[in-house]
Structure 1
Amino acid sequence: MTAEASPRIETEWLTLPDMVELTGESLGRVKRYLDESNIVGTRRNDVFVVPSVFFVDSAPLSSLRGTIIVLQDAGFSDDEVIDWLLSTEESMGRTPIEALTAGHKSEVRRIARTLA
């Protein structure tokens, strides 16, 4: 995907300590969120970070896990998963993460399944 392909949503990036503070969970539990595909992250400037929009009410967005798994099954890397979730999807007219946050997980996953 090229950077100019579609606009991306702006987000803050959370480090592991930021996520521990946000969620009130232990570092081990935050790492399990990653291991269990509840969230995905990337390295920016040599620091592992996760988009803050992946969290709602101090917890990982519940509909995110299944969507991440669909995209990973389609062969997406974690960086590609993040790029897709944060970039405007023309068929929806918004970013997939915005659609998930609004409760439209079926629509997002239907489109994600076509990307394989």
Structure 2
Amino acid sequence: MTDSAPAGNAAPEAGPADWLTLPDVAERLELPISKVHQMIRDRELIAVRRDGVRRIPADLVANHTVLKHLPGVLTLLADAGYDDEAALRWLYEPDDSLPGRTPATALAGDQAREIKRRAQALGF
């Protein structure tokens, strides 16, 4: 797991509409900031540097909780060799075969199993 963007700090082509800083996530989840750091280390959340600040896509922390299947998908992506930047690109890559048009939005809906299956297939 990497905490910072690779050299060049290139932003993904597609990406989240809104970002939260780690203190914002801690407040939204009603957790101490140290727990948010632990969740990132444990791949329960994904954080990348944008403008020098670690940020988390806001839609991954919906309704005052982390999306239920996100930790499993992040683990599958890490097992397939994806660092945080690559995992973020994969989560927000447009895909017309998904109802939400990206794995991240589909993960929040009824397609979580399909997203997990696709992430698992990346390891083969």
The yes-or-no answer on 1:37 pairing with 2:43 is yes
Correspondence for 2:107:
100
**Preserved CA contact (<8 Å) 2:47 2:55:** yes
Structure 1 segments of 4+ aligned residues over 6 angstroms from their partners: none
Unpaired runs of 5+ residues, structure 2, are 1-11
Correspondence for 1:110:
117
Normalised by the length of structure 1, the TM-score is 0.86
Correspondence for 2:5:
none
User: Counting strand residues as a fraction of each chain, which structure ranks higher?
Assistant: 1
**Preserved CA contact (<8 Å) 1:12 1:52:** yes
Over residues 43-78 of structure 1, what are the superposed CA-to-partner deviations in whole Å (9 max), with x where a residue is unaligned? 111111110011121111111000000011000010
- Which of residues 16, 19, 29 is equivalent to 1:23? 29
Normalised by the length of structure 2, the TM-score is 0.81
Q: Distance in 2 between matches of 1:103 and 1:36?
A: 25
Unpaired runs of 5+ residues, structure 1, are none
Question: What is the total number of aligned residue pairs between the two structures?
Answer: 111
Q: Quick check: 101-110 or 68-77, which moved more?
A: 101-110
Q: Distance in 2 between matches of 1:9 and 1:44?
A: 12
Q: Distance in 2 between matches of 1:29 and 1:56?
A: 17
Amino acid at match of 2:112: K
**Preserved CA contact (<8 Å) 1:9 1:95:** no
Q: Tell me the C-alpha RMSD between the 2 structures.
A: 1.7
